[in-house]
Amino acid sequence: MNIKGILFDSEFTFKTSRSGGAGGQNVNKVSTKVELDFDVINSALLTEEQKQIILFKLQNKISKEGILQIISQTERNQLGNKEIVIKKFYELITKAFVVQKKRRPTKPSKGSKERRLESKKRDSGIKKLRKKDW
């Protein structure tokens, strides 16, 4: 799965609104909160296999209609939030296509077993010395 070089910018839909939180009068007047919507199901740039991977791995961020939503309201200006949202989108997509290595089960080595048993004997010896016979 390689998505390097694909620019999804043509399929982005942006919505803006007033963000909450601190900021004084600026919060009440300016629409700085940016919401990026990306329609995964109807995307022309993704293959069916890629769509299934995204829908599975990012299912918490995707609505029932198949729209991936990312929101940012940290910056005090709209452009800053827009750049953050786009950056988050590309990070999410690239992270979704990373194939995890399969874990190969291993057994403890002979030396590690011996060291464990030795430390258990040493600890039990120390505890025996603490006890007093009345």
Kindly report the number of other CB atoms within 10 A of residue 69's CB atom: 14
Whether residue 51 is contained in a domain is answered as yes
Domain-embedded: residue 109: no
Provide the pLDDT for residue 122: 96
Instruction: Identify the residue with better confidence: 76 or 6.
Output: 76
Assigned domain for 101 exists: no
Residue 100 one-letter amino acid: Q
CB of 33 closer than 8 Å to CB of 16: yes
CATH of the domain at 74: 3.30.160.20
Summarize pLDDT for 33-84 with one digit per residue, the tens. 899 999 988 888 888 998 899 899 988 988 888 889 999 888 888 898 899 9
Residue 115 forms part of a structural domain: no
**Residue 90, Cβ neighbours under 10 Å: how many?**
13
Cβ-in-10-Å burial (0-12, 13-18, 19+) of 99 comes to: exposed
In sequence order, the β-bridge partners of residue 38 are 12, 68
Domain that holds residue 76: 9-96
Distance, CA of 19 to CA of 30 (rounded, Å): 8
Q: Is 73 within the bounds of a domain?
A: yes
Task: Let me know if residue 3 belongs to a domain.
Answer: no
Domain count, the chain: 1
What is the value of pTM for the model shown? 0.68
Task: Name which residue leads in pLDDT, 99 or 22.
Answer: 99
Whether residue 1 has pLDDT greater than 50: no
